[in-house]
């Protein structure tokens, strides 16, 4: 159930309860008395009893029996005060009221019955019981008081009552003063309680008005006998009539929309027969159509005839308009959905047509990509072969020069007749050593570039030194100093030949950069260091570094910084692909100390 519907039902129940109010009030008609009121009453009784004893002692000390009454009152006061100190208000009220009444009966018994001065206390006691405890107890006390007085009359007539002693005027005065004080206190409390009740009633009415305003609800009451319908201020506002307006049933029907009058009248007649009246219908307010919801119930007399009806009116115009807008929106949404479905079908047919040629396009793109990859791999192999041939040329240059010198020396000795078998043997051994050295160089290159894709653990220092040996001839011929720093125990996992190709590319690029920049002291350094479970390998030169404008592009395919078309632009691209895709690492470059530093960050081989 919605919050607004809950407010609507709560307002109905609350209004009906207010209309029923007077007949359902409990016998007790006041709130709990204040502590101050009870203390003041007890103090007045105590002061009156003590005053009466004092006057009795001064003017009639011989009337010993008359001390009994004030002593009983003092006992009642002390017991009531004790209960009051314990915050037992209900018990205090009963002891005070009943005890005072019993004390009054006892005193009047020995002071003249219906002629006793204390007889004037009965009305005050009965009023106090009715107001503070309950009307039912007050009625019973009044009945008992009447019975006691009847008994006094009969007893006095028969001569059963003891002869009343003379009462000094001072005793009358003390007794009357106590009664006056108690009466004034009670009146003050009665008036205060009545004013508080009016204040609470006004606050409750204001709260009801606020609740009706928040829930946009008004209330009304209909008197069947006078055919008069009266409305709350909020109900008048909803119906668009001046506040305080009244109608007959027929005049009220004129405010209802003509198309709804028949059904509302049928429901109204059904309500008079004990049915349920709960309907939403339209009304006319200043020429505007508004929607309201009305709920009512009928009260019947003992004969089953309708007496009066109470009901509430809720303005539901905004909800009705929202419902209408929602229906319109749903209709538009359905239309959009239908249009969208048509467009989807059209687009689906277009996609179906496209899918017929999609496979051909994909196969064409795949073929084109494979061709590009094949070309890239072929170019990479050619570049690597060129670098290898260049390295072999550097490695063979020195032994070839030495072989040439051996042959020249052999020719000179032969022409001069100094060639002996011993010298011939020495020169032959020297030439064979040089040829063996050249052959071992070929073996080293064949092992380095041997095909293979099986990843395995390999020693980093050994792999670096083997690659450096290949570049040794080039570095020596270019007067480049190569330094290597690497722990012997570091091992990596991967294809050793691929790693060597990466190192060969980096060292070859360093050689080219140093030759182009021509520093005073050409240097290339390789340094490997552990970093936790990874290793960092740095290849650094003093060849002037990389132009900052293009440093972010040097790992792109076909991008080269070498002149005269001597670079292919794929060496660094393939090096990064090998490191990142095959060896779970990273390859980066920065400019430092007049050169470039290429750094490889790679995972160490797991410890077994």
- Which is more confident, 33 or 590? 590
Which residues sit opposite 599 in a β-bridge? 538, 588
**What is the spatial distance between Cα 381 and Cα 552, in angstroms, rounded to a whole number?**
25
Which residues sit opposite 284 in a β-bridge? 289
- The pLDDT, as a whole number, for residue 27 is 38
Which residues sit opposite 297 in a β-bridge? 310
Q: What is the mean pLDDT of residues 413-435?
A: 80
- Which is more confident, 443 or 111? 111
Least Cα distance to 449 among 471, 467, 435, 472 occurs for: 467
What's the pLDDT band for 402 if we cut at 50, 70, 90?
Answer: low
Q: Please, are residues 461 and 412 in contact by the beta-carbon 8 Å criterion?
A: no
DSSP reduced 3-state for 95:
helix
What's the pLDDT band for 599 if we cut at 50, 70, 90?
Answer: very high
DSSP state of 34: P
DSSP state of 602: E
What's the pLDDT band for 17 if we cut at 50, 70, 90?
Answer: very low
**What is the spatial distance between Cα 292 and Cα 311, in angstroms, rounded to a whole number?**
13
Q: Which two tokens stand for residue 351?
A: 């996609």
Residue tagged 């007893």 (tokens): 155
Q: What is the mean pLDDT of residues 73-83?
A: 89
Phi then psi dihedrals of residue 371, to 5 deg: -65, -40
Q: Please, are residues 279 and 293 in contact by the beta-carbon 8 Å criterion?
A: yes
**What is the spatial distance between Cα 445 and Cα 440, in angstroms, rounded to a whole number?**
9
Q: Which of 22-31, 265-274, 464-473, 519-528 is predicted most confidently?
A: 519-528
What digits encode the pLDDT tens for the residues 504-530?
889 988 988 998 888 989 999 999 999
- Which is more confident, 114 or 489? 489
The residues, ordered by sequence, that sit 6+ positions from 483 with a Cβ below 8 Å of its Cβ are: 523, 524, 525, 526
Count of other CB atoms within 10 angstroms of residue 474: 21
Q: What is the mean pLDDT of residues 597-604?
A: 94
Residue 41, judged by CB atoms within 10 A of its CB (0-12, 13-18, 19+), counts as buried
Q: Which two tokens stand for residue 247?
A: 């109608």
What's the pLDDT band for 130 if we cut at 50, 70, 90?
Answer: confident
**What is the spatial distance between Cα 485 and Cα 487, in angstroms, rounded to a whole number?**
7
279: alpha, beta or left, given left = phi > 0 and alpha = psi -120 to 50? Answer: beta
**What is the spatial distance between Cα 81 and Cα 70, in angstroms, rounded to a whole number?**
16
Per-residue pLDDT at 388 exceeds 70: no
Least Cα distance to 8 among 326, 324, 319 occurs for: 319
Residue 235, judged by CB atoms within 10 A of its CB (0-12, 13-18, 19+), counts as buried
Q: How far is CA 373 from CA 167, 360, 531, 568, in A?
A: 137, 20, 35, 15
Per-residue pLDDT at 600 exceeds 90: yes
What digits encode the pLDDT tens for the residues 305-362?
888 898 888 888 888 888 888 888 888 888 888 888 888 888 887 777 777 776 777 7
Per-residue pLDDT at 29 exceeds 50: no
**What is the spatial distance between Cα 99 and Cα 83, in angstroms, rounded to a whole number?**
13
DSSP state of 260: T
- pTM higher than 0.95 for the full model? no
- Which is more confident, 171 or 523? 523
- The pLDDT, as a whole number, for residue 14 is 46
Q: What is the mean pLDDT of residues 368-373?
A: 71
Dihedral sign from CA coordinates of 516, 522, 526, 531: negative
What's the pLDDT band for 15 if we cut at 50, 70, 90?
Answer: very low
- The pLDDT, as a whole number, for residue 526 is 96
């Amino acid at each position: 159930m919605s919050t607004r519907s809950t407010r609507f039902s709560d307002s109905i129940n609350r209004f009906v309860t207010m209309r029923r109010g007077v007949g359902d009030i409990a016998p007790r008609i006041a709130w709990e008395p204040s502590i101050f009121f009870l203390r003041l009453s007890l103090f007045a009784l105590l002061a009156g009893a003590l005053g009466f004893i004092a006057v009795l002692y001064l003017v009639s000390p011989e009337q010993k029996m008359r001390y009994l009454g004030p002593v009983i009152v003092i006992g009642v006061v002390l017991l009531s005060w004790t209960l009051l100190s314990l915050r037992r208000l209900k018990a205090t009220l009963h002891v005070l009221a009943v005890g005072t009444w019993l004390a009054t009966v006892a005193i009047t018994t020995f002071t003249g019955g219906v002629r006793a001065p204390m007889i004037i206390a009965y009305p005050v006691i009965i009023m106090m019981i009715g107001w503070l405890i309950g009307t039912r107890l007050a009625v019973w006390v009044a009945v008992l008081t009447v019975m006691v007085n009847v008994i006094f009359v009969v007893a006095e007539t028969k001569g059963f009552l003891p002869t009343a002693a003379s009462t000094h005027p001072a005793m009358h005065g003390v007794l009357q003063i106590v009664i006056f004080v108690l009466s004034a206190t009670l009146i003050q409390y009665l008036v205060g309680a009545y004013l508080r009740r009016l204040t609470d009633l006004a606050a409750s009415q204001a709260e009801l008005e606020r609740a009706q305003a928040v829930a946009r609800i008004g209330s009304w009451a209909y008197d069947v006998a006078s055919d008069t319908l009266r409305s709350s201020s909020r109900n008048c506002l909803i119906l668009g009539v001046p506040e305080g307006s009244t109608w007959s049933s027929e005049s009220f029907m004129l405010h209802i929309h003509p198309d709804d009058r028949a059904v509302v009248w049928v429901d109204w007649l059904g309500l008079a027969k004990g049915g349920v009246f709960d309907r939403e219908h339209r009304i006319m307010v200043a020429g505007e159509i508004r929607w309201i919801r009305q709920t009512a119930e009928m009260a019947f007399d003992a004969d089953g005839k309708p007496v009066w009806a109470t009901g509430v009116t809720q303005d539901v115009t905004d909800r009705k308009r929202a419902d209408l807008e929602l229906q319109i929106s749903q209709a538009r949404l359905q239309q959009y959905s239908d249009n969208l479905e048509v467009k989807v079908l059209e687009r689906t047919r277009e996609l179906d047509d496209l899918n017929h040629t999609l496979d051909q396009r994909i196969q064409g793109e795949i073929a084109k990509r494979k061709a590009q990859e094949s070309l890239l791999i072929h170019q990479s192999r050619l570049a690597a072969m060129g670098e290898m041939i260049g390295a072999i040329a550097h490695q063979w240059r020195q032994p070839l020069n030495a072989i040439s010198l051996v042959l020249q020396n052999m020719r000179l000795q032969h022409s001069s007749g100094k060639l002996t078998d011993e010298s011939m043997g020495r020169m032959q051994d020297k030439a064979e050593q040089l040829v063996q050295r050249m052959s071992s160089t070929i073996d080293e290159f064949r092992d380095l570039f041997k095909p293979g894709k099986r990843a395995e653990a390999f020693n980093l220092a050994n792999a670096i030194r083997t690659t450096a040996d290949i570049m040794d001839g080039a570095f020596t011929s270019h007067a480049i100093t190569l330094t290597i720093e690497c722990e012997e125990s570091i091992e990596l996992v991967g294809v050793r030949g691929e790693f060597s190709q990466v190192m060969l590319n980096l060292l070859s690029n360093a050689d080219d950069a140093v030759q182009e920049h021509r520093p005073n002291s050409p240097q290339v350094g390789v340094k490997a260091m552990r970093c936790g479970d990874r290793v960092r390998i740095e290849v650094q030169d003093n060849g002037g570094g990389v132009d900052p404008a293009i440093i972010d592009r040097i790992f792109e395919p076909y991008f080269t910084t070498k002149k005269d078309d001597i670079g292919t632009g794929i060496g660094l691209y393939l090096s990064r692909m090998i490191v990142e895709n095959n060896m779970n690492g990273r390859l980066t470059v920065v400019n430092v100390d007049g050169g470039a530093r290429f750094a490889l960050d790679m995972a160490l081989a797991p410890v077994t």
